[in-house]
Amino acid sequence: MMKGLKKWRLFGLLAALTIFLSGCGEEYLSTLTPAGQVGKDQYNLLLLSTAIMTFVIIVVVIIYVLAIVKFRRKKVGENTIPKQVEGSHTLEIIWTAIPIVLLLILAVPTVSLTYKFADTKAMEAKDADGNAKAVTVNVTAKLYWWEFEYPEQGIVTSQELVVPTGQKVYFNLKAADVKHSFWIPAIGGKMDTNVDNINKFYLTFDKESDGLKDGVFYGKCAELCGPSHALMDFKVKTLSQDNFNNWVDNMQATKGKKADKNSTDLGEQVFANSCISCHAVSGEGTGGGVAPNLAAFGDRNRVAGFLEHSEDGIKNWIKNSQELKPGNIMPEEKALNNGKEFTDEELDALAAYLMGLSVEK
């Protein structure tokens, strides 16, 4: 009998644990599985505040349950008139003082971390050659995509942020059209991209994203920015310092790359005729593009930030971009191709060309 009971208890515990663990979310997306110092500090603050608040809840619940159990009319008697107590100074002082102490415990790390996370002085630090010591990324949020410019390296990419692990990476955040917010939940808290000013902050990435389910961390837009706000995802690839340097070199090496109208590759021809006025295929340069830079498109995880990354995904996007991501500024298919739809042959070739734009392969 007792044994059976114990088993049941174990079962209950396991069930609770399963729910609890499923409550942690996905490793590449959840704030509960932080993969960077900022996120870890925030996670610890979450634990501390949860502990304090759980204490408060327990105290309240104990008094609450006891009061309800002990002082029901059924128990006390229909006609009993309770003593009309005015109050108690001692109790008032107790439940004023204790919460103040609890809040002070929370306030100290709050204030210190607020200042710590806002410390971006190292962005300006230069080594002997006048090069910046830290990696800085200029993030520009646009309807509904993200541009990542590396001013020091002279390269620019989009939709997929690539960063080195094990160091502070600094961000200059700005929005080009309406306000957005830059958030990589598994790495650390968000910061808004305002239209009026540049916001600065930093994040650290402790873990290489290679082992994750999709090989990337997920990033989100966290500020309502229009119909396709929900689809304004980006991805984050974290590389070791060496791999990052390689990636930078490869990106720089795409300098001058252009789609050629006279190419033998039909895909390149189509691209040169229809896409090049907005999309660049060279990763070298500065930000400010009208449309995402596609130099590293083939290495990406998604089409348009959220569609399956395949030739079919690309074709689907070109054919139905407005339907799939309402409000984006990519022109309709016919507007791209002088009033005609692309032939299947052209689309296949274009998709293949795009998939071949890679700096990693």
80-109: contacts with another protein (CB under 8 A): 80-88, 91-92, 95-96, 99-100, 103, 106-107, 109
Please identify, using beta-carbon distances, which residue of 193 and 250 lies nearer to another protein.
193
For residue 144, the minimal CB distance to another protein (Å) is: 10
Please identify, using beta-carbon distances, which residue of 175 and 248 lies nearer to another protein.
175
Site for another protein in 11-40 (CB under 8 A): 22-26, 29-32, 39
For residue 315, the minimal CB distance to another protein (Å) is: 19
Site string for another protein, 302-321 (x = CB under 8 A): ----x---------------
Q: What is the Cα–Cα distance from 135 to 152, expressed in whole angstroms?
A: 8
Residue 329 sits in the site that holds another protein (CB under 8 A): no
- The footprint of another protein on this chain (CB under 8 A) covers a number of residues equal to 95
In the three-class reduction of DSSP (H, G, I as helix; E, B as strand; rest coil), residue 160 is classed as: strand
Residue 114 sits in the site that holds another protein (CB under 8 A): yes
Residue 45: partners with Cβ closer than 8 Å, 6 or more residues away: 109, 110, 113
160-164 and 234-239 strand pairing? parallel
For residue 74, the minimal CB distance to another protein (Å) is: 9
CA angle 9, 47, 102 (to 5 degrees): 110
**Which neighbouring-strand residues pair with 135?**
169
Please identify, using beta-carbon distances, which residue of 117 and 244 lies nearer to another protein.
117
Q: What is the Cα–Cα distance from 54 to 272, expressed in whole angstroms?
A: 61
Return the range that interacts with another protein (CB under 8 A); candidates 5-13, 151-159, 186-194, 344-352.
186-194
Question: If residue 137 lies in a helix (H) or strand (E), which one and from where to where?
Answer: strand 135-142
Return the range that interacts with another protein (CB under 8 A); candidates 157-165, 172-180, 239-247, 346-354.
172-180
For residue 114, the minimal CB distance to another protein (Å) is: 5
Site string for another protein, 206-235 (x = CB under 8 A): ------------x-xxxxxxxxxxxx----
**Which neighbouring-strand residues pair with 168?**
204
For residue 347, the minimal CB distance to another protein (Å) is: 24
Residue 347 sits in the site that holds another protein (CB under 8 A): no
Q: Are 276 and 284 in contact (CB under 8 A)?
A: no
Please identify, using beta-carbon distances, which residue of 172 and 274 lies nearer to another protein.
172
One residue of 151, 154, 189, 215 binding another protein per CB under 8 A:
189
For residue 194, the minimal CB distance to another protein (Å) is: 7
Question: If residue 155 lies in a helix (H) or strand (E), which one and from where to where?
Answer: strand 155-158
Place of tokens 């541009």: 147
Q: Are 200 and 173 in contact (CB under 8 A)?
A: yes
Residue 73 sits in the site that holds another protein (CB under 8 A): yes
Residue 178: partners with Cβ closer than 8 Å, 6 or more residues away: 143, 195, 225, 226
**Which neighbouring-strand residues pair with 163?**
238
Q: Are 159 and 292 in contact (CB under 8 A)?
A: yes
CA 206 and chain centroid, separation: 15
Euclidean distance between the first and final Cα of the chain, in Å?
Answer: 63
Residue 128 sits in the site that holds another protein (CB under 8 A): no
